[in-house]
Amino acid sequence: MPVAALACALALTGCGAGSGSGSSKAELSVSGSYMPQPVSADMAAGFLTISNKGGTRDELTSVSSDAAGQVTMHSTTGGTMAERSSFAIPAHGRLVFRSGGNHLMFDGLRHEPRQGQTVTVKLTFAESGPLTVEMPVKSATYNPSTGH
């Protein structure tokens, strides 16, 4: 048995604290996904939160969508946007993509997403299996904190 697994087994009460599951693997779920209706005909942004209830970190390694030729992951630091090849999802933590911060960028749109439609997005991870998200298209000025 690997040392890390043994240590975890010995401290099992600590590992499972709060969740009740006792699982040490990453347990990923997606919430709050949306795409503001794009103002440009060929580029759109997307936002979502990935939560990890498990005791092991994972990494978002790629994103794809049948609505776009390419989806890239960007971080925003001090007003500067940079493309990233992966984003960490900490154990018992969250990875947040939100307006003004980390974001997904959809390039080469196959059709113009309209408010009320959904866009299918596939998330690929280093450890966990892929997740498919039906991302709703909201108004161009949608604000998730107010719901408008």
By CB under 5 A, name the binding residues for Cu ion: 74, 81, 105
**From the centroid of its chain, how far is CA 72?**
12
d(CA 65, CA 25): 26
Amino acid at residue number 142 = Y
Shortest Cβ 4–Cu ion spacing (Å):
36
Residue whose Cβ sits closest to Cu ion: 74
> Nearer to Cu ion by C-beta: 81 or 140?
81
Give the count of beta carbons closer than 10 Å to the beta carbon of residue 113.
24
Shortest Cβ 86–Cu ion spacing (Å):
15
At residue 12, φ and ψ (nearest 5 deg) are -55, -35
> Nearer to Cu ion by C-beta: 57 or 74?
74
> Nearer to Cu ion by C-beta: 18 or 79?
79
